[in-house]
Amino acid sequence: QSALTQPPSASGSPGQSVTISCTGTSSDVGGYNYVSWYQQHPGKAPKVMIYEVSKRPSGVPDRFSGSKSGNTASLTVSGLQAEDEAYYYCSSYAGSNNWGVFGGGTKLTVL
Amino acid sequence: EVQLVESGGGLVQPGGSLRLSCSASGFTFSSYAMHWVRQAPGKGLEYVSGISTNGDTTYYADSVKGRFTISRDNSKKTLYLQMSSLRTEDTAVYYCVKEVGITPRLRIDYWGLGTLVTVSS
């Protein structure tokens, strides 16, 4: 049940694009298309931004997109806005013997 | 509107027990797998436990296996987490989360607001 690996921080200026990575193994990220991304503002509950690698729930701006290559998933935020400043977490299903694992989180700063 | 409302958190001494509840509304509770996720103060998210739609299949993270029990009452639209032999490292906000579909695959679409559990003497 090892956690997925995310960079502790990322940053970009308003209008720019930033990509956050989430690295796992062939037993989790690489083995299933069940990677999700969550946004969490301080003191608030997480909010789903991406599920099943690249699907966006209704209401999530299309500035947020997800992808996966091998054992690494990525979240890209385009056209950065001030309100995008938050923590971002990834998660993945890892099989019937490990229903879920999260990344350590990335703090996104909008400069 | 989907709502998940957790309750039952509070201060408990090490070795003690606590039962969390999650009252669900706005969707057909019995048709979705459910999970508990926790977040220690200032830390990241940690998957705790999950349960299938009818409760016959459950999963626990190694950190809580043998101490926590997840269950559900579909007639009451409520998810539970019975916590025993609590440790200081169990201190966290506990979130009730809803699976996108029937099969538990950690595809979460809704989170509750969470309930704080503090284990301290």
- Gap between the Cα atoms of A66 and B107, Å rounded: 14
Q: Provide the sign of the torsion angle of the four alpha carbons A96, A99, A104, A108, taken in this order.
A: positive
The residue to which tokens 């989907």 are assigned: B2
A to B CB pairs, distance under 8 Å:
64
- Quickly list DSSP for chain B: --EEEEE--EEE-TT--EEEEEEEESS-GGGS-EEEEEE-TTS-EEEEEEE-TTSS-EEE-TTTTTTEEEEEETTTTEEEEEE-S--GGG-EEEEEEEESSSS-S--EEEE---EEEEE--
pLDDT tens digits, residue range B45-55?
999 999 999 99
Q: Is A82 helix (H, G, I), strand (E, B) or coil?
A: helix
* Positions in chain A short of pLDDT 70: 1-2
The predicted pLDDT at position A98 comes to 85
The C-alpha atoms of residue A66 and residue A54 are separated, in whole angstroms, by 4
The H or E element that residue A65 is part of is strand A64-69
Question: For a pLDDT cut of 90, what percent of chain B falls above it?
Answer: 93
The pLDDT of residue A1 is: 59
The Cα–Cα gap between B22 and B32 comes to 14
How far is the C-alpha of B111 from the C-alpha of B39, rounded, in Å?
Answer: 13
How many Å lie between the alpha carbon of B59 and the closest alpha carbon of chain A?
7
- A48, A51, A89 ranked by CB distance to B44: nearest: A89
Q: Which residue does chain B place closest to A32, by CA atoms? A: B105
Count of CA atoms in the C-beta half-sphere (13 A) of A29: 27
> Looking at residue B101, what is its pLDDT?
86
Q: Spell out which residues of chain A touch residue B2, defining contact as CB-CB under 8 Å.
A: none
Dist. CA B96–CA B104, nearest whole Å: 14
Cβ distance of B47 and A100 shorter than 8 Å: yes
Closest alpha carbon within chain A to B36: A100
A37 touches chain B (CB under 8 A): no
What is the reported pLDDT for B18? 97
Q: Do A91 and B113 touch (CB under 8 A)?
A: no
Residue B108, chain A, CB below 8 Å: the answer is yes
Owner of token pair 């103060």: B41
pLDDT digits (tens, 9 = 90+) for B24-62: 999 999 999 999 999 999 999 999 999 999 999 999 999
The CA angle B1-A103-B91, to the nearest 5 degrees, is 75
